[in-house]
Structure 1
């Protein structure tokens, strides 16, 4: 007989969606926000969230069991991680990203994963990012939540890759310009151009204006695979683009980047990547899997795979670093200066 632990591991994976839905439901109800104000009883939370107390108690019990909440006598309070990341208005909050993009968009898409694996796309509503982002409401929901989820990683990339000599940056598939905003804030001489779908850049123009960066960050509405890119760029950034396009289009994107870049320029690829041995990490592997539902021919990326393609396109000084632990990496390189 196999150890019980083997069964528990399988059950933990199979029933993991229940914990996800508990987290998402708590975010939609504002449970973490209310507990950030002060510890509260079941009755107090039921009144504040407009939930039925018996049903809410079941949810709160689940949240305590998965360590998102703590319970002291009859009072509930946030666990430290919940207080840091799941309370609206706090610097590291990313609850909107979870309860809108992940819960309302990505979660339902996964229902069609088997269809995608079999190449049966008839029931899949959006065949790629372009058709998905052509829906104005879907574009708004995705872009608003993604913007807040990208500001932190954007700040890290801006700090760790030196662009102090760059004057221009092309942010290909740059969404609402979150990464460009962080780059522009760190490098006052840098001017950025964001290329993304028209419904996405509508929100980006608004957010950039609110950040008082409209004079330094411009937008081009289009498709990175079809629209002509401006040339002589000192830096080209592609964040989350490689995992959202067919794998066989990646070499062409890198060739275009090389052509559109000034000699000595820097290319930055940020994306979900598993290790070269393809043994993990789990979160990066799962993100690649869910991308297949609306990009059936997307590739599961590794640093070595991208490094080889960069070298074939002519780039040198190729380097890799981790960004979001267990999820994303950055591969960056340079275009040689003219001999």
Structure 2
């Protein structure tokens, strides 16, 4: 075939070629398969059964009272996902699973997985069409129901699972204000892990976690785990005034309500800080188009499914609210989990 004929032949294929590849859509459509395989394997107890070392599928099948040939297919799929490692005919946990999916690990994510993979959570996503027409998908519960111990543990497990935690702690600890700080308030701190880590770095620092009364038990549990004592002040930051004379205030992942409420709390934070004190506020902020980062955009939709009054701010919106409360914004720092940004703001000296 002459070159011109080859070119004409290839041009005939153009009708079969879309202007863009569709692999991304296929990956989205199949995404539920990974999450459901993970959920089923976790609930079955596969990772705990393999915590002591690799085992053969026939042995596991006998303990689970399931068909070995079918279990082997599941184990192969888990190995393909990087959750198991296959050695000959035996299967063992990967380091990822041994760290986060075994109940005896201090990093086990059982509460986080059950929160993210709960059937009621999936049903919220499945009813987006009803929600768009005005239906109430899930009525907002009272704070005691929403922020129950399992939820607080889930947030702690999420915090400890990514490098953003260490990045955020280092950001505060290396800031010039930390060296001379005497008091730190972790507002809505829940598990208190950020406050606990900063207390370990500076034992003389007076650290207070301010949160709803029923959260205290979980906060103290983590303080004991890491051999640190922190103060706990029960209260509701929407209703109560905050303790004053603070050198540093942390507000991490708490401002997802109506902007008017956020402004009220920021005014309280401003009053609580000493002149020259600093606020570190970390959230999943959206960009000005409200379409990036992807995780923040999906999070904004998830919050709205349960509470239409919720709001995920852009960095610009938060900076404007901070300025309106009297703060001077120093800088914005991405903290390394692909979605969160910390904004550092100062209450100037008088």
What is the TM-score when the length of structure 1 is the normalising length? 0.83
Residue 287 of structure 1: how far off its partner (Å): 2.3
Gaps of 5+ in 2: 1-15
Partners of 1:155 and 1:200 in 2: CA distance: 23
Question: How many residues of Structure 1 are paired with residues of Structure 2 in the alignment?
Answer: 328
Partners of 2:328 and 2:125 in 1: CA distance: 38
Residues 188-242 of structure 1 show CA distances to partners (whole Å, capped at 9, x for unaligned) of 121222222222223223433454433x32231x322112211121111111101
Equivalent residue number for residue 327 of structure 1: 339
Q: 1:75 to 1:321 in 2, by over 3 A?
A: same
RMSD, matched Cα: 3.0
Residue 263 of structure 1: how far off its partner (Å): 0.7
Equivalent residue number for residue 249 of structure 2: 236
Equivalent residue number for residue 223 of structure 1: 236
Partners of 1:135 and 1:200 in 2: CA distance: 11
Gaps of 5+ in 1: none
Match for residue 167 of structure 2 among 144, 150, 156: 156
Partners of 1:117 and 1:24 in 2: CA distance: 29
Q: 1:322 to 1:236 in 2, by over 3 A?
A: same
Equivalent residue number for residue 189 of structure 1: 204
77-86 vs 143-152, greater mean Cα deviation: 77-86
Is this contact kept in 1: 2:322–2:329, CA < 8 A? Answer: no
Equivalent residue number for residue 202 of structure 1: 217
Partners of 1:112 and 1:191 in 2: CA distance: 47
Partners of 1:106 and 1:185 in 2: CA distance: 36
Match for residue 284 of structure 2 among 234, 259, 272: 272
Aligned to 1:164, the other structure's residue is in SS state helix
Partners of 2:301 and 2:130 in 1: CA distance: 13
Partners of 2:228 and 2:319 in 1: CA distance: 33
The yes-or-no answer on 1:298 pairing with 2:298 is: no
Aligned to 1:242, the other structure's residue is in SS state coil
Is this contact kept in 2: 1:175–1:200, CA < 8 A? Answer: yes
Q: 1:275 to 1:77 in 2, by over 3 A?
A: farther
The yes-or-no answer on 1:100 pairing with 2:110 is: no
Is this contact kept in 2: 1:174–1:195, CA < 8 A? Answer: yes
The yes-or-no answer on 1:66 pairing with 2:81 is: yes
Q: 1:109 to 1:228 in 2, by over 3 A?
A: farther
Residue 94 of structure 1: how far off its partner (Å): 4.6
Match for residue 145 of structure 2 among 135, 141, 164: 135
